[in-house]
Amino acid sequence: MKGKNAASNVQVELQQALDAIDLSALAAGDSVVDKQAGDAAASGASLDVRGLCASRSGETVIENLDLKLPAGASLALVGESGCGKSTLLESLAGLLKPTAGSVRWTSSLTGARVPKAAFVWQNLGLFPWKTVEENLALPLRLENRPSTEISSRVAAMLDELGLCGLQKRYPQALSGGQRQRLALGRALVADPQILFLDEPFSALDALRREHLQEFLILMRLRRVVTSVFVTHDIAEAVFLASHILMLAAHPFRVLGLVRNPLRGALDAAARAGGMDALRAIRESDAFALAARELHAALRRGQRQGQVNEALL
């Protein structure tokens, strides 16, 4: 596929595949998300990156990156191993100081320049010597929230995570999926405006990973957060992201920033029918087509040096 015609053919094909998805049978009647969800796009934090350069041990990894992201977006960083995904994530999170350029986050709620952020790392970073409820309470304690608020937020989060009854256990006494949910809950319990995730589900088997992806979409719909995540899994990027940044290495290049055409359908499905409706989209022709095209675009970009056409 080459040029604009090929791209618009994909768009037509995608639209047809999306139109063919029948979610009406799955609609749960009551929305699975509360009223906050309607405001989600209006909050979170927006991102403006200009001329960003970052290096590791004196070697340039990220070079002259410009990037803008609206509040409420979910950005996937994808690309070959060593292209700088984790380096970029850490730079965006303020954990790695840029060698040049700027990373500017702005809270759409308060206008604050340093909105509250939370992280879910590959190894989850749970404290093994703290119980489930103590792990969940930690971000709230660090903010000196009143103890009544901490108790009620922890109880609500345990319920949302499906971990009620397990609050006195230690992380090592949980299943892999339960630990992963706990890590998501701990990251979100204090209502951050930005959520960073570094390959959060890569250690899980395929079915558990899909379940956690669905769970994350539902959690995200209930609160206002902009997220940035690293993944090696193209299908995961299509399922979770609103924007997908494709990177290549040697030298560092941005192959393209793609808007996920399925985002609206996925969020609408989650609101209407929860996990069942999300699964219907995952199994649709539209989803397979979007993942296939993104994969092809990455390969094309690596061969040609960059992606020129409007993808998807």
Ligand X SMILES: Nc1ncnc2c1ncn2[C@@H]1O[C@H](COP(=O)(O)OP(=O)(O)OP(=O)(O)O)[C@@H](O)[C@H]1O
What are the φ and ψ backbone dihedral angles of 59, each rounded to 5 degrees?
-95, 130
Stretch that binds ligand X, among 35-43, 79-87, 150-158, 180-188 (CB under 6 A): 79-87
Among 21, 46, 71, 85, binds ligand X (CB under 6 A): 85
Size of the site for ligand X (CB under 6 A): 10
Q: Does 253 bind ligand X (CB under 6 A)?
A: no
Residues 15 to 74 in contact with ligand X, rule: CB under 6 A: 56-57, 61
Beta-bridged to residue 60, according to DSSP, are: 55
CB 268 within 8 Å of CB 290: no
Q: Helix-strand-coil percent breakdown of the chain, rounded to 5?
A: 45, 20, 35
Angstrom distance (rounded) from CA 138 to CA 135: 5
At its nearest, how many Å lie between ligand X and the CB of residue 235? 16
Three-class SS state of 172: helix
Angstrom distance (rounded) from CA 311 to CA 86: 24
Residue type, 209: R
**CB-wise, 57 or 123, nearer to ligand X?**
57
Q: C-alpha 58: how far from its chain's center?
A: 30
At its nearest, how many Å lie between ligand X and the CB of residue 63? 12
At its nearest, how many Å lie between ligand X and the CB of residue 57? 4
Angstrom distance (rounded) from CA 222 to CA 137: 19
Q: What secondary structure letter does DSSP report for 24?
A: G
Stretch that binds ligand X, among 17-25, 77-85, 151-159, 300-308 (CB under 6 A): 77-85
Give whole-number Cα distances, 70 to 227, 247, 253, 264, 265, in Å.
11, 20, 22, 15, 19
Q: Does 123 bind ligand X (CB under 6 A)?
A: no
Q: Does 264 bind ligand X (CB under 6 A)?
A: no
Q: Does 82 bind ligand X (CB under 6 A)?
A: yes
At its nearest, how many Å lie between ligand X and the CB of residue 276? 33
**CB-wise, 56 or 68, nearer to ligand X?**
56
Instruction: Please list, in sequence order, all residues whose beta carbon lies within 8 angstroms of the beta carbon of residue 193, skipping any fewer than 6 positions away.
Output: 43, 44, 45, 107, 109, 115, 116, 117, 224, 225, 226
279: tokens are 């699964």
Neighbours of 169 (CB within 10 A): 15
Residue type, 25: A
| Residue span 154-193 as binding mask against ligand X, x where in contact by CB under 6 A, dash where not | ----------------------------------------
Q: Does 97 bind ligand X (CB under 6 A)?
A: no
Stretch that binds ligand X, among 76-84, 157-165, 286-294, 302-310 (CB under 6 A): 76-84
**CB-wise, 83 or 150, nearer to ligand X?**
83
Among 33, 83, 212, 228, binds ligand X (CB under 6 A): 83
Q: Does 81 bind ligand X (CB under 6 A)?
A: yes
At its nearest, how many Å lie between ligand X and the CB of residue 198? 8
Angstrom distance (rounded) from CA 168 to CA 92: 35
Q: C-alpha 148: how far from its chain's center?
A: 31
**CB-wise, 100 or 155, nearer to ligand X?**
100
Q: Does 86 bind ligand X (CB under 6 A)?
A: yes
At its nearest, how many Å lie between ligand X and the CB of residue 83? 4
At its nearest, how many Å lie between ligand X and the CB of residue 120? 15
Residues found near ligand X in the complex (CB under 6 A): 56-57, 61, 81-87
